[in-house]
Chain A
Amino acid sequence: MGIDSLVGGTIWDEYSQKVTDLMNNPQNMGEITEEQAKEMGAQLIVADFGAESCGDAVRLYWAVDPDTDKILSSKFKSFGCGTAIASSDTMAELCKDKKVDEAVKITNIDVELAMRDTPDVPSVPPQKMHCSVMAYDVIKKAAALYKGVDMESFEEEVIICECARVTLDTLKEVIRLNDLTTVEQITDYTKAGGFCKSCIKPGGHEEKDIYLVDLLDDYEKEKLASKASLGNDTSSDINFEDMTIVQRIKAVDAVIDKHIRQMLIRDGGDMEILDIKENGEHIDIYIRYLGACSGCESSSTGTLYAIDNTLQEKLSKKIRVLPI
């Protein structure tokens, strides 16, 4: 709890200026007609996602050059709140001049990041994240249409949350990409579980084959398994100094996960590894503090010594930790 939760506040206060501006004046709002696409010598793709009954719907228009697969023009129409409109607008912007295969790689995270005023302040409150997920989904749908993926194969996807029509694949991906651990987070990101709640766990008014809690369990097990295998790697006598850069990052991350991260999170902070570089006889690990840790006095004293000592003890005496 604490004062911020007690005082509360309106979600609008947490919108970035960019979100506000895009809501007031969306840049890529509009339509592309068959005629307009023809004039560009392009193929028109119209993809829909969401539904008014769920509170959010978006229609994406692409004019794609059939020779180069390049998206020549990208427009949207959206039924939704301010963040839905701003996310759709940003999504349409990000698609422009990209090849379809590149556009598919745009995630909801990219959309959210693009709407930030400053790199480390989220552009929307957590409960509004689902708006950017929808922007992500509609791109995938447009790409599927363009590539001529059979619509029936689309229908065959397993839908976990019927109300918000969220598929198993989307859920698995969103959980993994954002490292989600609670049903509430899943609801914030995807809307799944936010309506009739049947899909959260057994006992709702509708029986399901797979519930959100099952997906969280699976992800948790997956994480443990990958850590265990990583643990084997590090103990399999590869010296830290002999590791590749990827192995080093994994090894450092595993030690931090096991010994450091919980302590930081308890105080409302976190950290990330930016780079690992050889520097003469040292191995320098560059880190960045996140959340409450950034700006905390102890982050350059006590906390730093703790991270330094732990990594030296577990991995290599050559390690130096340098916060940026």
Chain B
Amino acid sequence: MTFLSNIWRNEKSREIIIQIFVLFCIGWLLSWLVMNVNANFKALGKDISFEFLFIPAGYDINQYLIDYNNRDSHLRAGIVGLLNTGLVAIFGIILATVMGVALGIIRLSKNWLASKLAYWYVEFTRNVPILLHILLWHGIIINTFPQTRQAINFGDLTFLSNRGFYLPKPITESGIEFVYLCFVISLIFSVLFTKYAKKKQDLTGIQYPVFWINTAVIIILPSLAFLLSGLPISFEIPVLKGFNFRGGLHMSPELAALTFALGIYTAAFIAEIVRAGILAIDKGQKEAAESIGLKPSKVMNLVILPQARRVIIPPLTSQYLNLTKNSSLAIAIGYMDLVATLGGISLNQTGREMETMVIVMLIYLSVSLSISAFMNWYNSKVKLVGR
């Protein structure tokens, strides 16, 4: 008895006992769940098999970044959906970041009207569920833009209608490799130049207009190459033929609505994060920067934002992740993302809810985990440099 109570009193052995007990319980629970699934599936005459992934899907998808037709497999349909998810997430993140930062700064502006407007915008947007945003935006785009035949025409090249946005599609011809090469070279140059300029500034205090020089190089060098190699790009121009515009690049209203809704909704949260981040910077920093005669834009860009960035990045990451996960609501307006293809029509046609949902969840999970791993790495890097 004393031996047992001694074991319990000893911290180390107690910890071991507790952990063993917990693991035992978890193991018990897991096996219970697995057995239940087994029994249920047996009763329903179902089995677990992933063979359905390789049979033809049979349905069509309206937006595919890789070739797809209805004879392709469910697996390929799922990949098409995944790429569509990625596309809308990237568009949404860009829009949300630009709008969110702008709104966050406007909210802190001295202009009463603008800051109040931004305040109400933020409050209204973030207090309405994202699903409603998506539905409302879709309704607005569908009902206010003109129909195909009355499409808004920009010089017979670009068209805007309630079927979406049609742009000329660049088609590369031989000789384009040279332009790509020049582009890569100019990118490498700009990276090296930035490093050099920073070193120079650290050593001597001389500032180069790094941004302008880099931009000029990145634009001019490939353009020159483009001219020299004899304009190796032709454009496929959308033409109204039959029911729809054919050819060209097409952005569907569903993609647009989803981008707007996700971007605008997330922008409201990002605005708050940016505002909090800026407010978190000590007032003295701003006053000191002003007192040494920096222009307001320089105060913001050189003093406030670099410091605020450290506060902003962790919550910003989780907003990006939220946006990506919220894109799964695409299903409500018929944008064919991962949940709508593999977790939607494929699930429906094959009746394999267990398998499809496991795959869909694992994909989202790995995307989330890898993005947050990357952002953690970036965060620690910024921190290291900063302090």
| A and B associate | no
